[in-house]
Amino acid sequence: MTNENAMHYVQASGLEITHMSDGWVIYRQETDRVHFLNPTAALVFELCNGRHTIAEMDAILSTAYALSAPPSDEIRTCISKLVAEGLIAPCS
């Protein structure tokens, strides 16, 4: 059984990423789809570089936004959506 908190994710290859003042725009040529990420989703996406676990993302976002509790559910929801759209994938 895999410990979800220890999971790592990596960004899909071939994405065209444009940094905007209010988030990121990501174009995935493979599906001809454009994705708009707000600043928080963009930070989660950026942390999906194969080096950070979900637990580490919880801590990073808690610190970045001065939260009293980690945004665990929100991060997992964001990751699930990014995976479903083919923008990130689990890695070992």
Residue 56 pLDDT class (50, 70, 90 cuts): very high
What are the CB-based long-range contacts (under 8 Å, 24+) for 13-16?
15/87
Overall average pLDDT of the 42-71 stretch: 95
Question: How many structural domains comprise the chain?
Answer: 1
Residue 1 has a pLDDT of 42
Q: What is the pTM of this model?
A: 0.91
| Residue 40 domain flag | yes
| Residue 92 domain flag | no
| Residue 38 domain flag | yes
Distance CA 86, CA 49 (A): 14
Overall average pLDDT of the 14-33 stretch: 95
Residue 5 has a pLDDT of 78
Q: Please report, for the domain that includes residue 57, its CATH number.
A: 3.90.930
Overall average pLDDT of the 6-11 stretch: 93
Domain that holds residue 20: 4-87
Mean pLDDT score across all residues of the chain: 94
